[in-house]
Structure 1
């Protein structure tokens, strides 16, 4: 049973976490969660509602409360849980209050998977999981975020730069900083590509490197070292948008995307940010949800802000209205 509500404030991020009593604490592993025998809930009493655009299933419990949303072809699951508030007051007055906890199921969902053991086992554990999810992890790299290290002293989160200064770049900072650059670790990817970090990119994440840090390194979504189709997340934003894993939520017509109502927190967003206004993708981010002013807000790593931000440095971080990023938004993908 739930013991008490604890408010955690880490840097500028505030969110509420419900801690189970010690005797009821489930044993959890992100991505392939397994529940202890005495905490398994099973799927009895649930109602499953199918919807389209995109094809998905919503789980409703026996009291009529929503439990989760699963999208066909995607591992991302939007769980309903205690409300949290995400904010970055040094860069925006806007806040996002969210009841969604964005998790990764161990495999892509398909219609009817809610009847299969792999999914029911995962769901029963995920409902109790209050460890950092996609949204909380995304906030661990904003300006002023505290440093976190593992037991070996390796820093894995904390305030990230976009990249080293570059007088030749129009925005003043160089791209091509991936998660392994932030970590300062050599890496070999599933597709066999081996990479070595560049010292001047330590603690830096460009826009797609940031997505790969959150979903890949932190939550174990497979990553590719190249920009080719495959089961993992490619290196660059254009490749993620064009043939990345999961489900494309709307076509890239070369013009401003339509379909805000299709978005859910945790979706990947893709933008045209080059000198030519067309369908080419040069920027990516993560959808956070609707802020306290009613705007659709996202977070991304950008050069002008020198790192990840949900703020308005280098353009308002919203998809509606007539701002730079709203006009340059082209498509979205749920992985």
Structure 2
């Protein structure tokens, strides 16, 4: 890597204090690397003309991209648009609800097309990857943090709040958990929405600034990252509305099929994957809850984001049940399926 390119990576060393997102501080080119900041040398700034190596992997079928020094730059999964980019290391914390933290060099971006074997020869690939490895804007993981407890409000050019602390839903005596579901991204925003599959929705005033579990996923990947969305629970282009529909016939690559038994194949997971759970009165194959996989925490457990009643909104903490896919907790025993969109 040239000295100018090293300097560009070093200038990306930013601490994102909002909502507990911390990017590991990078070092100047004249400093020696330390174990606390390994991310400054994760990849070249430009891959336009770099020598790249492409390796096909299985379970799931995917393509691993390495630079000339053998460093992994990105992983593209067949049928999926989400791409794991190796970038500056970040540590995610949510101190109100957990003592655990997750440190990762994964940045989850959306490619313009679902991946297929050999797509590295297509015209879009090099320009897109070149931009992605330099991109320091918020990815799926950082965007997820925008809705946790205490996250600051953010407004767009029209003055509409698109980020900030989200509730799960309004208090409801009729709901067994005490808060009503059916809070989608347009409820949080307070706007009407026309979906490509013909569904027109109006926001419910009492669901303003609220996101249920699948509404949270649709806010992160759909509204914020522009992944296509459906207004109905039908198969087709885009994410359906409910968790069971996304899990059962949503787009992308099915990583862990729902067998009705607790899933334990954690090795297939990648940060940003969608994870699905039984949340009914009795354990079984039905899916009523969904989340976004964050990564392995500092205790070695697989941790996820989801919007839940007791935490009153999105969290990766442990209030009302540990946000873990493994271990003896409630959610790990009801983890059934995973999908990469």
Kindly indicate whether residue 145 of structure 2 is the aligned counterpart of residue 139 of structure 1: yes
Number of equivalenced pairs: 316
Residue 293 of structure 1 is aligned with which of 299, 319, 324? 299
Contact (CA 8 Å) 1:8, 1:16: kept in 2 or not? Answer: no
Per-residue deviation, residues 218-263 of structure 1 (Å, max 9, x unmatched):
0000000000001100000000000000011011000101310000
Kindly indicate whether residue 12 of structure 2 is the aligned counterpart of residue 9 of structure 1: no
CA positional deviation for 1:6: 2.4
- 1:228 counterpart residue number: 234
What secondary structure does 1:249 align onto? strand
Per-residue deviation, residues 262-281 of structure 1 (Å, max 9, x unmatched):
00000000000001211100
Contact (CA 8 Å) 1:10, 1:146: kept in 2 or not? Answer: yes
Structure 1: how far apart are the matches of 2:47 and 2:117? 21
Residue 176 of structure 1 is aligned with which of 171, 174, 182? 182
- 1:270 counterpart residue number: 276
CA positional deviation for 1:322: 1.3
Structure 2: how far apart are the matches of 1:43 and 1:231? 34
Contact (CA 8 Å) 1:83, 1:97: kept in 2 or not? Answer: yes
What secondary structure does 1:136 align onto? helix
Structure 2: how far apart are the matches of 1:139 and 1:108? 25
Distance 1:276 1:177, change over 3 A: same
Structure 2: how far apart are the matches of 1:41 and 1:109? 19
Structure 1: how far apart are the matches of 2:117 and 2:20? 39
Per-residue deviation, residues 162-202 of structure 1 (Å, max 9, x unmatched):
00001121111000000000000000001011010000000
Contact (CA 8 Å) 1:207, 1:300: kept in 2 or not? Answer: yes
What secondary structure does 2:103 align onto? strand
Structure 1 unaligned blocks of 5 or more:
19-38
Instruction: Supply the RMSD in Å over aligned alpha carbons.
Output: 1.4
What secondary structure does 1:8 align onto? coil
Per-residue deviation, residues 144-175 of structure 1 (Å, max 9, x unmatched):
00000011110000000000001121111000
Contact (CA 8 Å) 1:40, 1:121: kept in 2 or not? Answer: no
- 1:22 counterpart residue number: none
Structure 2 unaligned blocks of 5 or more:
27-44
Structure 2: how far apart are the matches of 1:267 and 1:249? 9
- Please identify which structure carries the higher strand content: 1
Structure 2: how far apart are the matches of 1:110 and 1:97? 30
- 1:33 counterpart residue number: none
Kindly indicate whether residue 53 of structure 2 is the aligned counterpart of residue 53 of structure 1: no
Alignment of 1:73-88 (within 5 A): 73-88=79-94
TM, length-normalised to structure 1: 0.92
Contact (CA 8 Å) 1:300, 1:308: kept in 2 or not? Answer: yes
CA positional deviation for 1:16: 4.2
